Chains A and B, each alone.
Chain A
Amino acid sequence: MIAQVADQPFVRWDWIVDHVDDIWAATWEHIVLTAIAVGVGFVISLALSMLALRHRRTYGPITWVTGILYTIPSLALFAFLVPITGLTTLTAEIGLVSYTLLILIRNIVAGIDGVPASVRESAVGMGYTRRRLFLEIELPLALPVIVAGIRIAAVTTIGLVTITALIGKGGLGFLILRGLNLFYSPVGTTQIVVGTVMSVLLAVAVDLSLVGAERAMTPWARSRHR
């Protein structure tokens, strides 16, 4: 069986044409899993970052814990969760969210820390309240660094979503896993390639849209410097 593999095509275009609907469904599931993970991750990260910014001492422990979460291989994390939450979307999302935290928290904190002290001082000196200072001055100015974090988190998550195929989800990862089980046949390799290519395209598309969104939101950062 294996001996014949070399003569066979790696990608079967007719399979792709016949399975456009499947591919689209997998892609959509991939997008949804990613969006939930990054969205929830961002909300949690923002809350933890605000805590860390207000109480500096918490920053060490926060990055330590999220650092461990980040270091634990995704499959191991799913292994811990499956006995508790089963082969569910919740399991997948808990894992995916935990990987976004370190990246997002570091960038949010670094972004806010990067706001020049003089800007902060003059804002407070003119009568900004703490809340308005954060929302109107610090957050917008930190936006480029925060968006950089969201980009890394999003692209990383898109990659990790594929692994959730092993716990019965996976989006495009499902195609890859199914292909892996049929690795000796062109139908298998085709699915691996489709899953990979679509996943990369998705990552690039999301990354570029985030760059575009950032540019649109930060008109002052365009280089019209003298």
Chain B
Amino acid sequence: MIDFLGDVVAWFLDPAHWLGSGGILGRTWEHVQISAFSTVAAALVALPPAIWMGHRRRGGIVAVAVVNIGRAIPSFAIIALALPISIRLGLGLGFWPTFLALFALALPPMFTNTYTGIAEVDPALVEAARGMGMTESQITTRVEIPVAAPVIVTAIRVSAVQVVATATLAALVAWGGLGRFIIDGFAIQDNVMVFAGGLLVAGLAIATELGFAAFERRFVPSTASRSTSEDLLADVTVAPQHG
């Protein structure tokens, strides 16, 4: 065991493992890049309808159904399905199937959590805003979104962390990313590489989580009860639990 961990340390100390197209730096960049693209794209697509539906406080059933279906489809299956679909669409291997899968994966929690955040803004607040003469769009941009901001950021965080985790599987559809070390390691039965890959993937996922948490603490005023340091990592799922 000690020997094994020594080998892992040695693996990390070898500069050849860091540089080059298949090195740690390159793989990390691929991983971050595809995760960021997919998350941002999903946010652009999911947030506007979620905010609109949340403002109208309609479609709660849809929101719950979306997240439940999203949860029921295995992320591995989404990646696997994305590959032949991408090929049939003429988008080929690598980036696009990964992007499609991660995008599809990020949508449901983003949509539902944002919807819930907006819909659960204190109705008295909205009524007061309306009473003071705000238009509906002013209510949304000046009251509901700021008040729900912590929840929306959390929604993005939940999706982003899930995307980073699932991007590990991108190696299976010929994209790079840190998952390569694990999957290639399995293939050539190199446990040191597998373990090192695991550390890198776990490190990136936790860094994403902590990065968002730090961002929230720094920039998002806590309007509702949210993210104390105690449940920094605990608040991963903000999905509605009933239904």
Residues on A close to B: CB < 8 A?
A: 2, 5-6, 10, 60, 63-64, 66-68, 70-80, 82-84, 102-103, 106-107, 144-145, 148-149, 152, 155-156, 158-163, 165-167, 173, 176-177, 179-180, 183-184, 188-189, 192-193, 195-196, 199-200, 203-204, 207
Q: A73-B166, A79-B201, A80-B198 are in contact. Are A64 and B80 (CB under 8 A)?
A: no
Q: A79-B198, A80-B195 are in contact. Are A200 and B73 (CB under 8 A)?
A: yes
Which residues on A sit within 8 Å (CB–CB) of B76? 159, 162-163, 165, 173, 176
Which residues on B sit within 8 Å (CB–CB) of A84? 1
Which residues on B sit within 8 Å (CB–CB) of A78? 182, 198
The B82-134 residues at the A interface (CB cut-off 8 A) are 83-84, 87-88, 90, 92
A73/B201 in contact, CB under 8 A: yes
A176 to B197, CA, bound (A): 23
The B21-39 residues at the A interface (CB cut-off 8 A) are none
Which residues on B sit within 8 Å (CB–CB) of A193? 81
Contact of B182 among A68, A79, A177, A199 (CB under 8 A): A79
A76/B197 in contact, CB under 8 A: yes
**At the interface, yes or no: B220 with Cβ under 8 Å from chain A?**
no
Contact of A163 among B72, B74, B191 (CB under 8 A): B74
**At the interface, yes or no: B77 with Cβ under 8 Å from chain A?**
yes
* Shortest Cβ distance from residue B193 to the other chain A in the assembled complex, whole angstroms: 9
Q: Which residue of B lies closest to A61 (CB)?
A: B230
Which residues on B sit within 8 Å (CB–CB) of A149? 241
Q: List 10 A-B contacts (CB under 8 A).
A: A5-B87, A71-B202, A80-B195, A82-B191, A103-B237, A152-B237, A155-B71, A163-B169, A196-B73, A207-B68
B232/A158 in contact, CB under 8 A: no
Q: Which of B80, B92, B179 has the most CB of A within 10 A?
A: B80
Q: CB-defined interface of B166-193 with A at 8 Å, one 1/0 digit per residue? A: 1011001100000100110110000110
Q: A73-B205, A163-B74 are in contact. Are A6 and B236 (CB under 8 A)?
A: no
A203 to B69, CA, bound (A): 9
A102/B236 in contact, CB under 8 A: yes
B236/A71 in contact, CB under 8 A: yes
Contact of B168 among A6, A76, A180, A183 (CB under 8 A): A76
B236/A67 in contact, CB under 8 A: yes
A152 to B92, CA, bound (A): 35
B205/A76 in contact, CB under 8 A: yes
**At the interface, yes or no: B242 with Cβ under 8 Å from chain A?**
yes
A60/B230 in contact, CB under 8 A: yes
Which residues on A sit within 8 Å (CB–CB) of B166? 73
A79/B194 in contact, CB under 8 A: yes
Which residues on A sit within 8 Å (CB–CB) of B71? 152, 155-156, 159, 203
B172/A180 in contact, CB under 8 A: yes
**At the interface, yes or no: B75 with Cβ under 8 Å from chain A?**
yes
A145/B87 in contact, CB under 8 A: no
B87/A2 in contact, CB under 8 A: yes
**At the interface, yes or no: B2 with Cβ under 8 Å from chain A?**
no
Which residues on A sit within 8 Å (CB–CB) of B242? 144, 148
Which residues on B sit within 8 Å (CB–CB) of A161? 74
A66 to B236, CA, bound (A): 11
Q: Which residue of A lies closest to B171 (CB)?
A: A75
